[in-house]
Amino acid sequence: MSKKRKKELEEEKPYKKPLIKKRKPNRSIAGDIALYFFLFLVAFIMAFPIIYAVSSALKPLDELFKFPPRIFAQHPTTDNFSDLFVTMGKSWVTFSRYLFNTVFITFLGTAGHLIIASMGAFVLAKYEFPGNAIFFKIITVAMMFTGYVTQIPNYLILNKLGWIDTYWAIIIPAFASPMGLFLMKQFMEGLPTSLIEAAKIDGANEWKVFTGIVMPNVKPAWMTLIIFSVQALWNNKASMYIYSEERKTLVYALQQIQSGGIARTGQGAAVLVVVMIVPIIIFIFSESQILETMASSGLKD
Amino acid sequence: MKEYLQKYFILRKHNAQVAWKKAKNRKMCYLFLLPYFVLFTMFFVFPVVASIYYSFTYYNILERPRFIGLQNYISLILEDDIFLIGVKNTFMIAIITGPLGYIMSFLFAWLINELPRWVRSVAVIVFYAPSIAGNCYVIFSVFFRGDAYGYVNAFFMNTGIIDTPKLWLIDPHWMLPICMLVILWMSLGTGFLSFVAGLQGVDKSQFEAGYMDGVKNRWQELWYITLPNMKPMLMFGAVMSITQAFGVCDVTMALCGYPSTDYAARTIVTHLFDYGFSRFEMGYACAIATILFLMMILCNKAIQSLLRRVGT
């Protein structure tokens, strides 16, 4: 290749990414620095209680009660966690049973919610039929009040069904959470209708379209549904509907330990970390997918 | 008049027939929706109706519900002083933390929007983490401990602002402000995520068009371009924060105790728990639930009609 040709090629390169991004016209450097500073400050305030919780879980007992306190542990240990497991191991219902309860409830509740809500969301988003719009309106209204409003009648209903003091009292109502269906439906509306029509011309029925085409294309929404559902169920103390100790959830048992007073301070700090770490870690790993789903979360009139 | 009515009914009948035919064609749709519909009706729609029904009765689970008309509501509003404290507290919390949390959610979502990608995703985690951190808020009871070894007390005493330790979580004077602080700390929730995602989706070319048309600073950008584009997310965020603000109970119960001193940290939901699950006066508790329900729906509708005017 001749030199000339090389030069030509270089000239042909239409666009070279500039090293420093061109600034938007309406930004001043001073303003940006002030903003960064402000954001950093607020982020520190927001994160401080969580950092403090984690570090106090790592502190040995004498440091926990030290005054004036230090934010970070001087001699970090995992004693609090091992103490916690010893305490849990000595309890009448074993640790593994509590863990099983929570995992069982979370897993079944999430799976059922995912399947049932996305089936509903699919037809609400992609088909027109009488009652469609009204039903969706009712669902958005249902997002406007908290679960506390319906708690008492729910208790009575579950009682009639004979589900009080069983896992189903937590699992089945979790299937119908309006939030999941709402997000799923909004996300599915973004799918091109032509995709579905093409499949139909090829002779696929609704179920095939649903499982073969729609579901694989809305994976971000799956993740979001799973995360919201796991968060809700993992933190569910279930103390209203479940009385038997052997069916209580892990969070409930852990918080019992936490309320054990001064002697359990170290273990209490460990409990805080154990309880919060699961939702946060799941969120960290699925952040981009959740944000992708939330982009279509808007509530149109 | 008669003719008019006749015409009207014929039209309605025709419409119903068309709808029925359409529905018949779409049997599959109903089949798909059926499982969700049944469960949703059973656990969300029916309970609301049931709670309205029970609110007119005296019901203690053991005996059959006995119809007593408006008696529950009358005693709630005229005789139950503690309920009124609860209403006052709930409104205080909702009025202060609701809008503030909402504005905070939007403000921070907006501010982190222009950060580089990875900084932004870290920032989202930091801001969102408090709202999913389980019961991490109990750590505040360590900060606000009532003796001189509580960190906040110690700080204020060392700097000489106060000379005796304050009983932050026992003194009715301080309970609500501290609870509000904690609720604000946790208020960057689902709405915040929705804002972050929505801001990313705003069409970039609109900003360029805006610069051409003379948009001068960040605030004009915000008001004329960003906000109108974000309307659906703003609505969604509003729903989330109102629902959260009226449902406060976990934080007050964990920090100030249940019941709290002088009922100073009682909210409507705590009152509902008290009557529903401690005293088993289900009728009365349902009246509380119905009032809460109406308050939430009305507030949501009002805010939505307000938000429709944004950026116009």
CB proximity A157 to B under 8 Å: yes
Q: What is the ipTM of this complex?
A: 0.86
CB B296 within 8 A of CB B241: no
Chain B residues touching A220 at Cβ < 8 A: none
What residues in chain B have per-residue pLDDT under 70? 311-312
Distance between CA B133 and CA A148 in Å, rounded? 20
Residues of B whose CB is below 8 A from A290: 193
- pLDDT value at residue A21: 52
**Nearest in space to A150 (alpha carbons), one of B43, B28, B186:** B43
- CB contact residues (below 8 A), chain A span 103-142, against chain B: 116-117, 119-120, 122-124, 127-132, 135, 138-142
- Is residue B122 within 8 Å of residue B205, measured between CB atoms? no
Contact A99, A278 (CB under 8 A): no
Measured between alpha carbons, how far is A197 from A294 in angstroms, rounded to an integer?
26
C-alpha angle B203-B204-B206 in degrees, rounded to nearest 5: 75
| pLDDT score, position A42 | 92
d(CA A250, CA B183): 25
Q: Tokens 């179920």 belong to which residue?
A: A207
Is residue A189 within 8 Å of residue A214, measured between CB atoms? Answer: no
Q: How far is CA B167 from CA A91, A265, B9, B255, in A?
A: 35, 20, 69, 12
Q: Which residues of B touch A128 (CB under 8 A)?
A: 22, 26
**DSSP 3-state of A271:** helix
What is the reported pLDDT for B56?
94
Cα(A260)–Cα(B179) distance, rounded to whole angstroms?
Answer: 23
> Which residue in the set A52, A123, A299 is minimally distant from B33, CB to CB?
A123
User: Tokens 């049973």 map to which residue?
Assistant: A97
Give the helix ranges, DSSP H, for chain B. Answer: 2-25, 27-40, 46-54, 71-74, 81-111, 117-132, 139-143, 151-158, 172-185, 190-200, 204-212, 218-221, 227-229, 231-246, 250-256, 268-273, 282-307
Distance from CA of B1 to the nearest CA of A (A): 30
A–B: how many Cβ contacts below 8 A?
Answer: 268
Q: Which residues of chain A have pLDDT under 70?
A: 1-26, 301
What is the C-alpha separation between A74 and B260, in angstroms, rounded?
36
Asked whether the beta carbons of A296 and A187 are under 8 A apart, the reply is yes
- Looking at residue B101, what is its pLDDT? 92
Task: Flag if A68 and B154 touch (Cβ within 8 Å).
Answer: yes
Nearest CA in chain B to A149: B289
Q: Which residues of chain B neighbour A179 with C-beta distances below 8 Å? A: 190
State which H helix or E strand residue A230 sits in.
Answer: helix A219-234
Q: What backbone torsions phi and psi does residue B57 show, to the nearest 5 degrees? A: -125, 165
Of 3.40.50.300, 3.30.390.30, 3.40.50.2300, 1.10.3720.10, which CATH number belongs to A85-294?
A: 1.10.3720.10
Helix locations, B144-203, DSSP H: 151-158, 172-185, 190-200
Of A43, A148, A157, the CB nearest to B269: A148
Q: Specify which residues A169 forms β-bridges with.
A: none
Rounded to an integer, what distance in angstroms lies between the CA atom of residue A187 and that of residue A297?
7
Domains defined along chain B, listed by start = 81-278+285-307 (1.10.3720.10)
Residue spans of the domains in chain A: they are 26-77, 85-294
Taking the CA of residue A199 and the nearest CA in chain B, the distance in Å comes to 16
* Residue A6: predicted pLDDT: 59
Dist CA B229 CA B226 (whole Å): 5
Rg (CA), chain A: 26
Provide the 10 A C-beta neighbour count for residue A221. 28
Chain B positions in Cβ-Cβ contact with residue A31 (cut-off 8 Å): 218
Structure tokens at B275: 């009557």
Other CB atoms within 10 A of residue A286 CB: 18
pTM value is: 0.85
